[in-house]
């Protein structure tokens, strides 16, 4: 009898969950149609992904399914803020505006994609999204991929020229990204990556200026150069009992921020001692 009751309870939960899902599907379709005047398809959903009572849906306009944005439905709330989007007992929020802005910038970038590919970069990899933006954030990050492995230790000799040319093409396109992340196509734990902080680079015109800004805005590059710079001093200090090293990092100290007035020198570093 208990087993029958348990099965019935499970079956009832499944039915209620399915009904809730179908109800939310229509809810967000109506919400997006009323708010933005577009019809959408629901790509996937994650129940309680963010926190208890919140469901996240990834959706696309029916006529432009390459563009994706998220809609979050929060249930069991009391309507107490007139500036929020309430539908009955649901609070709904989305990032459609940011997704639309990102899509606009991607189309600007498309016109230089053939030249970007000639440099050995691709705009897609394993069907990953071409842009990244937070659920409610306004920043837009573009994602590009190197078809060749990239190594921090030899980037100045091997990759600097083509990264600089890549930067110039992005700037030429007029695409307004806050950040461009360039990674190679190896597995995550092996891949090399570089970040273009576009606001920091906006006044860069020469390769030397580009190199300096890359050192200032990429902690891994700065860590490499600073470790190399202080290597001989490190060796003077080390002895049989103490050494600077780490099994968790490629460097014996890592830099996370930089002082604009003195260039690439770090204003904060963490060092590792081993006995």
Report the 3 state secondary structure along 80-128: CCCCCEEECCEEEEECHHHHHHHHHHHHHHHCCHHHHHHCCEECCCCCC
CA distance 22 to 39: 16
Global pTM value: 0.74
How would you write the pLDDT of the chain (275 residues) with one tens digit per residue? Answer: 544 444 434 443 343 344 444 468 998 999 999 999 999 999 988 875 545 568 889 999 999 998 999 998 886 555 555 555 555 567 888 999 999 999 999 999 999 999 999 999 998 887 777 888 876 567 899 999 999 999 888 889 999 999 999 999 999 999 999 999 999 988 877 788 899 999 999 999 999 999 989 988 887 887 777 777 766 666 666 666 666 666 656 666 666 655 555 444 444 445 555 55
248 and 230, same structural domain? yes
90 and 58, same structural domain? yes
224 and 190, same structural domain? yes
| Domain final residue, candidates 62, 94, 126 | 94
142 and 78, same structural domain? no
165 and 32, same structural domain? no
pLDDT at 152: 84
| Domain final residue, candidates 42, 72, 94 | 94
Helices (H) and strands (E) in the chain, counts: 9, 14
Using an 8 Å Cβ cutoff, are 225 and 256 in contact?
Answer: no
258 and 124, same structural domain? yes
Question: Measuring CA to CA, which residue among 238, 177, 157, 263 is closest to residue 255?
Answer: 263
CA distance 139 to 102: 9
Parent domain of 257 = 101-274
263 and 136, same structural domain? yes
| Domain final residue, candidates 41, 62, 94 | 94
């Amino acid at each position: 009898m208990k087993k029958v009751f348990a099965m019935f309870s499970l079956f009832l939960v499944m039915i209620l969950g399915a009904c809730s899902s179908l109800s939310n599907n229509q809810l967000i379709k109506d919400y997006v149609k009323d708010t933005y005047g577009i019809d959408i398809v629901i790509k996937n959903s994650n129940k309680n992904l963010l926190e208890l009572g919140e469901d996240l849906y990834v959706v696309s306009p029916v006529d432009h399914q390459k563009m994706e944005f998220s809609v979050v439905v929060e249930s069991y709330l009391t309507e107490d803020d007139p500036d929020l989007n309430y539908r009955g007992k649901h609070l709904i929020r989305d990032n459609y505006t940011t997704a639309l802005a990102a899509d606009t910038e991607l189309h600007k970038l498309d016109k230089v994609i053939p030249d970007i590919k000639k440099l050995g970069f691709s705009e897609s990899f394993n069907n990953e999204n071409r842009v990244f933006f937070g659920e409610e954030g306004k920043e837009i990050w573009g994602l590009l991929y190197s078809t060749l492995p990239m190594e921090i230790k030899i980037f100045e000799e091997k990759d600097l020229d083509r990264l600089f040319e890549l930067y110039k093409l992005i700037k030429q396109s007029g695409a307004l990204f806050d950040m461009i992340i360039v990674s190679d196509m190896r597995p995550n734990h092996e891949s090399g990556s570089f970040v273009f902080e576009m606001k920091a680079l906006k006044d860069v015109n020469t390769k030397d200026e580009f190199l300096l800004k890359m050192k200032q805005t990429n902690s891994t590059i700065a860590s490499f150069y600073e470790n190399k710079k202080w290597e001989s001093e490190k060796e003077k200090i080390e002895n049989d009992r103490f050494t600077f090293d780490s099994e968790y990092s490629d460097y014996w100290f890592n830099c996370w921020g930089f002082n604009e007035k003195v260039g690439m020198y770090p204003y904060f570093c963490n060092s590792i001692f081993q006995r």
